[in-house]
Amino acid sequence: MEKYEISILKDLTNKIFLSPLIKTSEEGNINILKTSSIENKKIREDKFDLGETEKNIEEYFLKKDDIIFQAKGSRLEAILIEKEYENLISKQSYFNIKVNKFLIDPKYLCWYLNNRVSKQYFKMNSSGAIIKTINRKVLENLKIIKPDLKKQKEISNLISNFYTEKEKTLNYLERKELFINEKIIKSIK
């Protein structure tokens, strides 16, 4: 078995931060990602809040290949920002991670943050009896097994292909269930 370099998360990122608090406003031009904006590990734009501020917060806007990590609540999980959104920030229940793409592939890192070993680390290092919380130091000090970038991209592609297949399979099973239910209903009318 190959030996790979091990780094801590903060050494693989440009920045780990919380977004500033933004006042919600229907006329705002800032998109605010909240926990309900995420369904099945996908970002739902139609569930963003709008907000506004007088301050210049451009440095906090999330970009493609950034990662948000939900550090408060029952789902301690990472979500990759897979496309560009205009003026997007997250609620303060998320740590925002600006990935250093010269050191680590964002998809690989997101997968790593969500894998069983990382989840165990977060569980052992969280605080709060009912609402689990991960502090920044715990997140920054997560040890990451870091194969070379080529291997990381191979792993990312494998994971991506699996999730595509999983989604198609689940859609197929849902349609099949509807079809079977309709057949049964027709047969008993």
Give this prediction's pTM.
0.87
What's the CATH class of domain 5-147? alpha beta
CA atoms within 13 A on the CB side of 81: 24
Delimit the domains of the chain by residue range: 5-147, 149-189
Write out the two tokens for 29.
């031009």
Q: Return the percent helix, strand and coil in the chain, to nearest 5.
A: 40, 25, 35
Which pLDDT score is estimated for 1? 62
Which pLDDT score is estimated for 73? 80
Q: Give the residues of the chain that fall short of pLDDT 70.
A: 1
Can you tell me which residue has the tokens 């689940």? 170
Strand ranges (DSSP E) for the chain? Answer: 5-8, 13-17, 23-24, 30-33, 38-39, 42-43, 49-52, 67-70, 78-80, 88-90, 94-99, 143-146
How far separated are the first and last CA of the chain, in Å rounded?
Answer: 62
- Residue pair 144/109 in contact by the 8 Å Cβ criterion: yes
